[in-house]
Amino acid sequence: MTGAPVPEPGGSPDTPAGAPGTSPVASLKPARPRWRETLGLLARNPTAAVASVVLLLIVVVAVFDDTFAPEGANEISVTDRLQSPSWAHPFGTDDLGRDILSRVILGASVSLKVGFLAVGFALVAGTMIGLLAGYYGKWVDDVLMRFMDMLFAFPAVLLAIAVLAVRGPGSGNTALAIGIVYTPIFARVTRASVLGVREEVYVRASRSVGASDWRILTRHILPNAAPPIIVQTSISLAFAVLAEAALSFLGLGTQPPNPSWGLMLAEGRGYIELAWWLAFFPGMAIFLTVLCFNLLGDGLRDALDPRQRTLMAGGGK
Amino acid sequence: MSSDVLVSVRGLEVHFPVRGEGIRKKGAGVLRAVDGVDLDILRGETLGLVGESGCGKSTLGNAVLRLIPSTGGSVHFAGTDVTSVGGKGLRELRRRAGMVFQDPFASLDPRRTVAQTVSEPLEVHGLRSGRRERAARVGELLELVGLDPAVAGRYPHEFSGGQRQRVGIARALAGEPDFLVCDEAIASLDVSVQAQVLNLLRRLQKQLGLTLLFISHDLSAVRHISDRIAVMYLGRIVEIGPASAVGSDPQMPYTQALLSAVPLPHPALERERKRIVLRGDVPSPSAVPSGCRFRTRCPYVFEPCDDVDPALQPAGAAGQQAACHLHGVVGTPVERTPEGVTAEP
């Protein structure tokens, strides 16, 4: 007979090297979680590592702002108006004698809260819409994505202004407005990623053993479609902080006297020739945060790239 | 007879719409991947399905399990109509009929461990309650396919092709199926590993009393593992019969050509071997020839071949059937258009 396979030796015929006699109880837990591998790869990228550390610092400061801020946000001191940076007031004081350092620290929580809320909203809504559109296709795809296109066709600031005009200004509504504006971006990124994963053989394999659509979507498609969504999240956080600043600058976001970086920038504008520090320090805070989110996004893009993964994890030092 | 039939395929068709180019995309034609297949798979047997790439054998295998929707005909699995069953019935079908895929690098989710992959059917069908029971069952399944249960926590990229295919087989077996479709299950493995996996499948088939549909383009592998062989050409079964008969004395000119292409492992015999080289290429499944679909390449073509689509009829050994007018003209006459081709342009 042609092509006859090698005869089976007695006993366990086709057991490859290993220890077949060990306990048949297998652990269902992975030996090494994926996220740890990703973190390891991220740590090898110096730029992204520094950006992550700086972001972590910013977040810690924002969370414990009351502890870090030397003074309250609205402690007015008429005698200390428009003081230039000094030991007593490292970032100087504004036209009402409020400590700028304290306001930048307290503003961090406002700016970041709006950023995280907005991106959180866009992430959840956009990912769900993208998943459904990409997985089910046909009319579901048409209806959902045309709706997203309509949102997308609106100028972002105009849409945000419309939302705020209806619901009134304030941090929460600002976050909602920015979230709605960013939803189509997440929907598109997710849909594109899902379209690729949907056709994978392992999805068909999962269906062949009887897995439900829900199971396939949550256990197979979403985890494999996630990398571009994660990158988009990081980059969107940068844009959301900027958008919050822009809306507050226009007077639609955070309302005075609450501190927010964009609002402080707007308030400092009038004194730019007289006291540069009013606008400079909140501007620097925005710049640093946005830069770090962008650098982290770039680093994540590289760390989550499967080709990078095999190159670095496989051929590691 | 009928009580022995586990899977019964009648007039199965899988047609795909072909999109035209440019603005007018509709009505450009159909691609007849599977075009009227009748097939019975007996309980406990291994049926080999061979054919060139593009002949529709994988599509047939997928349509039998309803992983691809069929456009006509019926498939009955142990009495239930696969093409119309839904809900609980469909889930039961998914448990009782599994599939082993061609490419073990693509068929395992890279983000899930071996244990998660193999235990998926257990969770879906609620076959083992509790983590510990499932983990124990995963260990058993891994041992069954010749893997060390200690590897359960690893990811697919840490395995070789042969090991991955074993994981794929373990997943297919987890639901304790009666029926397994092996879709080119050894085609993308190294030759030495092919033999191991082939032997594994044969052992499992005997041990678990499985019914196998073994799809392959490798006639020698199919001959090795199968009880019966079905030969597919351009979406249709053209010959079927006991493996020994089809593998040594084929009655259909196409099978003869296929068989003549298999090298013989004996120098003297190999020198004597006469190859039947077919003329031309396989016609496109979107423009199937009228009459006998093999007539454009057949060395024996004669009058009825143009006009009558041959049906399977007894030829050669007992149980052997071939769709060829050389064994007597039987079949459906073809209505002819002036161009002589019935397929849409």
What string of DSSP letters covers A57-115? HHHHHHHTHHHH-SS-TT---GGGTTPPS-SSSTT-B-TT--BHHHHHHHHHHHHHHHH
Total domains in chain A come to 1
Q: Are B295 and B306 in contact (CB under 8 A)?
A: yes
- Mean pLDDT (chain A) is 79
Summarize the confidence of residues A105-110 as an average pLDDT. 85
Interface test with A, best of B112, B164, B165, B182 (most A CBs within 10 A): B112
How close, in Å, is residue B124 to chain A by CA atoms? 6
Q: Which residues contact B90 (CB under 8 A, 6 or more apart)?
A: A210, B66
Which pairing describes strands B179-183 and B72-77: parallel, antiparallel, or unpaired?
unpaired
Q: Is B85 among the domain residues?
A: no
Ranges in chain B, pLDDT < 50: 1-2, 340, 343-345
pLDDT tens digit string along A135-165? 998 899 999 999 998 888 888 778 888 888 8
A66 against A235, higher pLDDT: A235
Of A172, A189, A170, A174, which Cα lies nearest the Cα of A125?
A189
**Euclidean distance between CA atoms B97 and B62, whole angstroms:** 11
**Euclidean distance between CA atoms B267 and B276, whole angstroms:** 19
Fill in the amino acid letter for A90. Answer: P
Q: Is B305 among the domain residues?
A: yes
A36 — pLDDT class (breaks 50, 70, 90): confident
- Element holding B233 (H helix, E strand): strand B228-233
Q: Is A230 on the interface with B (CB under 8 A)?
A: no
From its phi and psi, is residue A221 left (phi > 0), alpha (psi between -120 and 50) or beta?
Answer: alpha
Q: Is A6 among the domain residues?
A: no
Residue A191, domain extent: 39-314
Q: Which residues contact B81 (CB under 8 A, 6 or more apart)?
A: B74, B75
| pTM of the full structure | 0.79
Which pairing describes strands B211-216 and B97-100: parallel, antiparallel, or unpaired?
unpaired
Q: Are A122 and A186 in contact (CB under 8 A)?
A: yes
Q: Is A23 on the interface with B (CB under 8 A)?
A: yes
**Interchain contact, A211 vs B168, CB within 8 Å:** no
**Euclidean distance between CA atoms B130 and B128, whole angstroms:** 6
The SS3 call for residue A260 is: coil
**Euclidean distance between CA atoms B57 and B238, whole angstroms:** 12
**Euclidean distance between CA atoms B283 and A104, whole angstroms:** 74
Task: Look at residue A34 in the predicted model and tell me its pLDDT.
Answer: 65
Q: Is B334 among the domain residues?
A: yes
Q: Is B61 among the domain residues?
A: no
Neighbours of A204 (CB within 10 A): 19
On chain A, the residues whose CB falls within 8 A of the CB of B163 are 16
**Euclidean distance between CA atoms A189 and B199, whole angstroms:** 45
**Interchain contact, A2 vs B263, CB within 8 Å:** yes
Q: Is A180 among the domain residues?
A: yes
Q: Which residue of A has its CA nearest to B224?
A: A4
Q: Which residue of B has its CA nearest to A20?
A: B148
Instruction: Dig out the tokens for B161 from the structure.
Output: 């092709």
Q: Given A30, A210, A223, which is nearest B91 (Cβ)?
A: A210
B79-84: Cβ within 8 A, 24+ apart:
none
Q: Which residue of B has its CA nearest to A205?
A: B107
**Euclidean distance between CA atoms B222 and B217, whole angstroms:** 8
How close, in Å, is residue B266 to chain A by CA atoms? 9
Interface test with A, best of B102, B109, B140 (most A CBs within 10 A): B109
Q: Is A79 on the interface with B (CB under 8 A)?
A: no
pLDDT tens digit string along A67-97? 777 777 777 777 777 777 777 777 777 777 7
Terminal CA-to-CA distance of chain A, rounded, Å? 49
Q: Which residue of A has its CA nearest to B103?
A: A201
**Euclidean distance between CA atoms B114 and A273, whole angstroms:** 66
**Interchain contact, A27 vs B153, CB within 8 Å:** yes
- Considering only residues 31 to 60 of chain A, which have any Cβ-Cβ distance to chain B shorter than 8 Å? 31, 34
On chain B, the residues whose CB falls within 8 A of the CB of A30 are 113, 116, 153-155
Which pairing describes strands B80-81 and B72-77: parallel, antiparallel, or unpaired?
antiparallel
The SS3 call for residue B234 is: coil
Q: Is A303 among the domain residues?
A: yes
Total domains in chain B come to 1
Interface test with A, best of B91, B107, B116 (most A CBs within 10 A): B107
How close, in Å, is residue B333 to chain A by CA atoms? 39
The SS3 call for residue B129 is: coil
How close, in Å, is residue B192 to chain A by CA atoms? 8
Q: Is A217 among the domain residues?
A: yes
Instruction: Dig out the tokens for B163 from the structure.
Output: 């090991």
Task: Look at residue B54 in the predicted model and tell me its pLDDT.
Answer: 81
Q: Which residue of B has its CA nearest to A212?
A: B124
Q: Is A107 among the domain residues?
A: yes
Q: Which residues contact B143 (CB under 8 A, 6 or more apart)?
A: A20, A24, B149
How close, in Å, is residue A34 to chain B by CA atoms? 8
In this predicted structure, the answer to whether residue A235 has a pLDDT above a threshold of 60 is: yes
A17 — pLDDT class (breaks 50, 70, 90): very low
**Euclidean distance between CA atoms A63 and B27, whole angstroms:** 62
Of B297, B293, B319, B327, which Cα lies nearest the Cα of B308?
B293
On chain B, the residues whose CB falls within 8 A of the CB of A220 are 109, 112
Give the HSE-up count for residue B69: Cα atoms under 13 Å, Cβ half-sphere: 6
Instruction: Dig out the tokens for A156 from the structure.
Output: 């972002």
Q: Is A16 among the domain residues?
A: no
Question: By mean pLDDT, which of A38-42, A190-194, B111-115, B220-224 is the weakest?
Answer: A38-42
**Euclidean distance between CA atoms A268 and A85, whole angstroms:** 15
**Interchain contact, B148 vs A13, CB within 8 Å:** no
Interface test with A, best of B85, B103, B120, B140 (most A CBs within 10 A): B120
Q: Is B281 among the domain residues?
A: yes
On chain A, the residues whose CB falls within 8 A of the CB of B162 are 16
Q: Is B324 among the domain residues?
A: yes
Of B259, B262, B182, B257, which Cα lies nearest the Cα of B216?
B182
Query: Which CATH number covers residue A119?
Result: 1.10.3720.10
Residue B305, domain extent: 250-345
Q: Is B189 among the domain residues?
A: no
**Interchain contact, B172 vs A19, CB within 8 Å:** no
**Interchain contact, A2 vs B132, CB within 8 Å:** no
Q: Are B60 and B13 in contact (CB under 8 A)?
A: no
Q: Given B153, B155, B262, which is nearest A29 (Cβ)?
A: B153
Q: Is B232 among the domain residues?
A: no
Q: Which residue of B has its CA nearest to A213?
A: B124
Instruction: Return the residue matching tokens 């054998």.
Output: B57
Q: Are B216 and B230 in contact (CB under 8 A)?
A: no
